Amino acid sequence: MEFGELNDLGIFQHFTVEEEIGSEFLTTRELELISNRHFSKQLDFIRGRTCAKMALKKMGFPIAQLELLSEPDGQVSWPEGVVGSISHSKGLAGAIVGWKKDFQSLGIDIELRNRVQPKIWNRLFTEFEQEHLLQFPLEFQSEKATEIFSLKEAFYKFQWPITKTFLGMRDVEWQEHGFDTGISSKLPTYRHFTSMYNQHLISVIFG
């Protein structure tokens, strides 16, 4: 599975639907990072790192020489000159990478469609966002809510490497033209890409 629109933008991608994949592409030091984690989290990490290495291969990096450790803040230590992002969800994991000369940052999020139900809206969405969601027919509200939630997650991963600012879900307001936050002046111009793949929603923020 590949999104031609991302390729056209110079964003390299790799996705996998396999829940359990082998760890043959991971180094000993990468595997050490997850030795104490719950089994399902180990699988998530392996799926994400494998996708990231496959995407980097498409940029020309030899997989055997790649080691993608994690920074203390959780983001990936990408090779020099590269920006990227990873997301893992039940049933689909993916990674996007690009050259730093082309992008200041990339953020990706993958969610199961209709995941965000109204009972948790109050924790995730501002009053403006909730009013916007209520304008949709009932049967589309959860899908639209998941879309905004996912864009916010992707936005968080996009902005973090640049601003190192923690933003809670209600600190950021989605609006038609972008996100309303207190950190907009620190960010480059960014755009978003949203697509569906079977039961999954994929959100990307790039700029």
Ligand X SMILES: CC(C)(COP(=O)(O)OP(=O)(O)OC[C@H]1O[C@@H](n2cnc3c(N)ncnc32)[C@H](O)[C@@H]1OP(=O)(O)O)[C@@H](O)C(=O)NCCC(=O)NCCS
**Interacting residues toward ligand X by CB under 6 A:** 44-45, 48, 70, 73-76, 86-88, 109, 152-153, 155-157, 160, 167-169, 172
Q: Shortest approach of ligand X to residue 92 CB, angstroms?
A: 10
Q: Which residue pairs from 41-48 have beta carbons closer than 8 angstroms and sit at least 24 positions apart in sequence?
A: 43/19, 44/88, 44/93, 45/88, 46/21, 46/22, 47/16, 47/18, 47/19, 47/21, 47/88, 47/93, 48/86, 48/87, 48/88, 48/93, 48/95
Report how far residue 178's alpha carbon sits from residue 13's, in angstroms, rounded to the nearest whole number.
23
Q: Is the dihedral of CA 64, 69, 74, 79 positive or negative?
A: negative
Residue (73 or 139) nearer to ligand X, CB: 73
Q: Shortest approach of ligand X to residue 137 CB, angstroms?
A: 26
Q: Shortest approach of ligand X to residue 201 CB, angstroms?
A: 12
Tell me the one-letter amino acid at 172.
V
Residue (74 or 137) nearer to ligand X, CB: 74
Tell me the one-letter amino acid at 127.
E
Residue (74 or 81) nearer to ligand X, CB: 74
Backbone angles phi, psi at 119, to 5 degrees: -65, -20
Residue (168 or 182) nearer to ligand X, CB: 168
Q: Shortest approach of ligand X to residue 15 CB, angstroms?
A: 13
Q: Indicate the residue whose CB is closest to ligand X.
A: 74
Residue (141 or 155) nearer to ligand X, CB: 155
Q: Shortest approach of ligand X to residue 162 CB, angstroms?
A: 10
